[in-house]
Amino acid sequence: FTKFSTTDISYLCLLSDRPSVFMVHVSIRHLYVLFSTSVMLLRASAQRCYAMQKGVLTHPNWKLLDREGDCGRSDEFRIIGGRNANLGQYPWMARLLYKWDDEKEIDLRYECSGTIINERYILTAAHCDSKIMDAPMVEVRLGEYFLETNPDCVGHVCAPFVQDIKPEEFKCHEKYNKYTFHNDICLIRLSLPIQFNDFVQPICLPVYDSFRHINYEGRILEVAGWGVHDIFVMDESYILQTLRVRVTNHHECSMMYKNVADKKNITSRQLCAGGVVGQDSCNGDSGGPLMAPFSFTSSPKYFIVGVVSFGTTICGNSKMPGVYTEVAHYMTWILIRYVVHVHDLQQNVEYLFTPTLSTEWFSLEFC
């Protein structure tokens, strides 16, 4: 038999006067084998919508990311030199715990951050991989805010207890260079699904093709983390910090880093932001998100723009900007690196159909 169903994906269009857009799910059962695919139908007027990255919506692992627009929700829309974030402001933040075991003692430390992108995956930096850190990552903590309390409460509002989940697998970029920090991006698959609540939620991913072409220079973006918050007191912050950073000119940033001792080359897949003395992402912020809210429905949604990669040796103590891996350039890589398990996606999809744009509708062509 053949089964058709539709899902309204109009929320994927950033414009308020967007046309209706639907995803058609096609399932065909033949000889006890179930095939499934998804194609997008929309009228020609949908050119006013932002285009999707090629292959994202039709990719078999799209369903693992798509929660019908239920991502990037923050309870409040409004690091070094940062200020305290509000409880529930960044519910996608994750802390990565490592274990150093020497002859004298076992040392457990949170050395990196990450970002929830769905119920089983955390997005972080490749330099946060256990092999690079030379220490096993033993746990991923979700729903953290104030390090000394569990649960966290502000006034009469309390978040649920934190969730500590063991990592199951690392999927770091195969072309990551530990000297240049090129392709500094990694996926962590968790051993158990995340239990979402108001204080633990995924961020939205930059699936729009237009994200790859945005000139962020001069724009204000946000970072968050528990890294050093005062350059004169090199201790981590006990409360989640947030900081607004301005994206710097790419060429100027590249020239700055060419003049430092290790002569790093900044590529088009990296962003530079910060460069104000006393304000920078640092240490425990590594692997965390560079993000921004985008308004396209009744309320803004946060999208991840970059992953905290590297900066100067003494972060926050120079005019050198921090460097971030730009996530939009890695969307296809992210989807390909998903490991599709039966309990994640029962219908492992193959490309039965390829959507192509005609003058009136997207048409279906058999492969």
Pick the catalytic residue from 36, 38, 127, 281: 127
According to DSSP, the β-strands at 228-230 and 167-172 are: unpaired
Find the catalytic residue in 286, 318, 329, 344. 286
Residue 262 to residues 35, 134, 194, 361: CA-CA distances in angstroms? 51, 22, 40, 52
Number of residues in the chain: 367
Among 242, 282, 231, 229, residue whose Cα is nearest residue 112? 282
* 344 belongs to the catalytic site: no
256 closest CA partner among 269, 234, 240, 273: 273
Distance, in Å, from the CA atom of 285 to the CA atom of 100, rounded to the nearest integer, reads: 19
286 given a catalytic annotation: yes
Q: How many CB atoms lie within 10 A of CB 276?
A: 16
Is 184 marked active-site?
yes
- Give me 80's structure tokens: 């070094």
Q: Quick count: other Cβ atoms within 10 Å of Cβ 103?
A: 4
Catalytic, out of 66, 129, 152, 184: 184
Catalytic residues, by residue number, are 127, 184, 286
